[in-house]
């Protein structure tokens, strides 16, 4: 049964990758294809993937449709926009074709990104209606725990930047370097893509903090921690401290705890994480402590002494006998906000990549392997999370393809604009040579980031525990979706 379950879950993941990742590529190319046909362009080929064809056929419209072996993107071959040899090889078209208008070129080139945005918006509307599963602790920027120390990427332990900056549990981070953050994922990614530095080269960030209703700014010096070496402050998110069950006969039941109570403080210290309560009870070692709770809008102080019990492994632990509420919640984010948030984060990551003061680099991105893994992880939890991830991928795909780099849609828009301004097209040989170089660079980068994707998968497979992978932020600040090398080949 376990084997059949594994096979079934794998097939489900493959189906989700084919439908949503493959669908995202298809939608992008369909935008180019339909717009080109509307303007009367000659279309030679519509391909999903690169390289030799797995299978292909020629339609009544004279277009060759194919599925190719390397599923890293796709393309629509339009000889009126450029030479296809830089990507697929072969001979230049023999027939003389009319030169299309500048406006028609730009419409065809931008159509792929527009269709990705439309697709993302449709999915965002669906997610708005059915709801997006998440955990309450990721839907806030309130600090739950301030760690005393942080382990650097090289294994060295140093004092936590949060402690040095005076951050406290209960503080809410509203912005980083002037950029607003409204959930924990955006906080982590905005910090990771930051580019602030001191005069001696240390990472630096300015946090806008809300504490007891008052706003202030705090300068903090992040360290590079974890195996990925992201900027880290040494904080974790606040959790829902509501009580869902009081165990019969427990110390909590004797002390008068009720289902629905929300823990506020323990011996006067704020408690915003379950781990902090557990740690405080171990320190108290059975002595009486006072836990303040909120009940029906009122604050109550309850005195309780934890009882010594045994963990499943036989080790001793002090407990009061409560179970907390399930943190899984359903949110209904506005579709416009979904697209805006994804576009904002994608832009911040892309900006960080080109900023020499940032600590981001291609090794911290996710390529096709990492993206497929993201679809696999979300598919194992809830199809609504697949929709969420697909929206992110489509926004990323649209923005990345519009970058003014040769081979990408944006690069061909740049070539067309330069030709328009100079009164004649750029030489075909120049475009082919530039495309050839950038195709090589593009696929080299894909192989590079894929190596790190595989390394992450191997590392995580060796980990003994995985904590809610599909509901947390991606391991990399943003996926790098492999774009189609533009329809202008």
User: Helices in 21-175 by DSSP H: which ranges?
Assistant: 22-38, 85-88, 102-130, 161-165
- pLDDT at position 488 is 42
CATH of 136-239+330-363, one of 2.40.240.10, 3.40.50.2030, 2.30.42.10, 2.60.40.10: 2.30.42.10
Return the structure tokens found at 169.
């549990």
Determine the straight-line distance between the first and last CA of the chain, rounded to whole angstroms: 50
Closest CA to 484 of 68, 62, 15, 58: 68
Domain map (residue ranges) of the chain: 2-132+376-471, 136-239+330-363, 243-322
What b/e readout covers 300-321, taking b as 16+ CB neighbours within 10 angstroms?
eebebbbbeeeeeeeeeebbbb
DSSP 62-97: S-EEEEEEEEEEEEEE-TTT--THHHH--PPP-S--
Residue with tokens 């390289």: 51
| Cα dihedral 431/404/364/6 (nearest 10) | -80
In contact, 479 and 399? CB cutoff 8 Å: no
What b/e readout covers 439-459, taking b as 16+ CB neighbours within 10 angstroms?
beebbeebeebbebbeebeee
| Cα dihedral 171/175/181/184 (nearest 10) | -40
- pLDDT at position 79 is 84
220: β partners: 205
Q: Which residues of the chain have pLDDT under 70?
A: 1-9, 72, 82-95, 463-489
Return the structure tokens found at 307.
């009882």
Three-state DSSP string of 194-254: CCCECCCCCECEEEEEEECCEEEEEEECCEEECCCCEEECCEEECCCCEEEEECCCCHHHH
CATH classification code of 243-322: 2.30.42.10
At 38 the three-state DSSP class reads: helix
pTM confidence score:
0.85
- pLDDT at position 98 is 81
Whole-number Å distance between alpha carbons of 337 and 334: 5
Bridge pairing between strands 223-225 and 230-232? antiparallel
In contact, 161 and 223? CB cutoff 8 Å: yes
How large is the greatest C-alpha to C-alpha distance in the chain, in angstroms?
90
- pLDDT at position 470 is 42
- pLDDT at position 49 is 81
Q: What length is written for the chain? A: 489
Q: How many CB atoms lie within 10 A of CB 256?
A: 14
Long-range contacts of 263-266 (CB under 8 A, 24+ apart): 263/291, 263/292, 263/293, 264/291, 264/292, 264/293, 264/294, 264/299, 265/291, 265/292, 266/290, 266/291, 266/292
Beta strand segments in 130-183, E: 132-135, 143-146, 149-151, 157-159, 172-176, 179-180
Nearby residues of 13 by Cβ (< 8 Å), 6 or more positions away: 375, 376, 379, 380
């Amino acid at each position: 049964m376990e084997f059949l379950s594994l096979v079934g879950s794998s097939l489900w993941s493959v189906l989700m990758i084919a439908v949503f990742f493959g669908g995202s590529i298809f939608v992008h190319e369909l935008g180019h294809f339909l717009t080109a046909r509307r303007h009367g362009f000659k279309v030679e080929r519509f391909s999903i993937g690169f390289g030799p064809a797995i299978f292909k056929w020629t339609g009544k419209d004279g277009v060759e449709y194919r599925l190719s072996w390397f599923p890293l993107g796709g393309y629509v071959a339009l000889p009126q926009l450029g030479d296809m040899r830089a990507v697929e090889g072969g001979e230049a078209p023999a027939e003389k074709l009319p030169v299309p208008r500048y406006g028609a070129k730009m419409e065809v080139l931008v159509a792929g990104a527009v269709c990705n945005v439309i697709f993302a918006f449709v999915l965002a509307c669906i997610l708005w209606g059915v709801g997006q599963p998440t955990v309450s602790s990721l839907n806030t920027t309130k600090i739950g725990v301030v760690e005393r120390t942080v382990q650097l990427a090289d294994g060295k332990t140093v004092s936590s930047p949060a402690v040095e900056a005076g951050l406290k549990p209960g503080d809410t981070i509203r912005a980083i370097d002037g950029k607003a953050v409204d959930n924990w994922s955006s906080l982590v990614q905005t910090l990771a893509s930051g580019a602030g530095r001191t005069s001696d080269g240390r990472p630096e960030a300015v946090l806008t903090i809300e504490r007891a209703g008052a706003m202030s700014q705090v300068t903090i010096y992040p360290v590079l921690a974890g195996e990925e070496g992201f900027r880290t402050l040494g904080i974790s998110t606040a959790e829902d401290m509501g009580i869902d069950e009081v165990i019969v006969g427990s110390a909590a039941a004797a002390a008068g705890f009720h289902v629905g109570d929300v823990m506020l403080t323990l011996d006067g210290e704020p408690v915003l994480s379950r781990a902090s309560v557990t740690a405080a009870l171990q320190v108290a070692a059975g002595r009486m402590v006072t836990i303040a709770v909120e009940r029906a809008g009122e604050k109550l102080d309850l005195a309780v002494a934890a009882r010594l019990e045994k963990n499943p492994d036989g080790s001793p632990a002090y407990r009061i006998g409560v179970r907390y509420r399930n943190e899984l919640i359903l949110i209904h984010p506005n579709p416009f906000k979904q697209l805006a948030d994804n576009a904002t984060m994608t832009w911040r990551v892309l900006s960080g990549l080109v900023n020499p003061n940032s600590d981001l680099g291609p090794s911290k991105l996710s390529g096709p392997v990492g993206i497929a893994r993201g679809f696999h992880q979300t598919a194992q939890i809830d199809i609504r999370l697949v929709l969420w991830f697909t929206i992110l991928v489509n926004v990323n795909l649209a923005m990345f393809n519009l970058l003014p780099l040769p081979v990408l849609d944006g690069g061909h828009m740049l070539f067309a604009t330069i030709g328009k301004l100079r009164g004649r097209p750029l030489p075909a040989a120049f475009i082919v040579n530039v495309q050839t170089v950038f195709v090589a660079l593009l696929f080299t980068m894909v192989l590079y980031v894929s190596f790190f994707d595989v390394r992450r998968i191997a590392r995580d497979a060796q980990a003994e525990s995985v904590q809610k992978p599909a509901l947390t932020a991606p391991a990399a600040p943003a996926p790098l979706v492999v774009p189609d090398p533009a329809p202008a080949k």
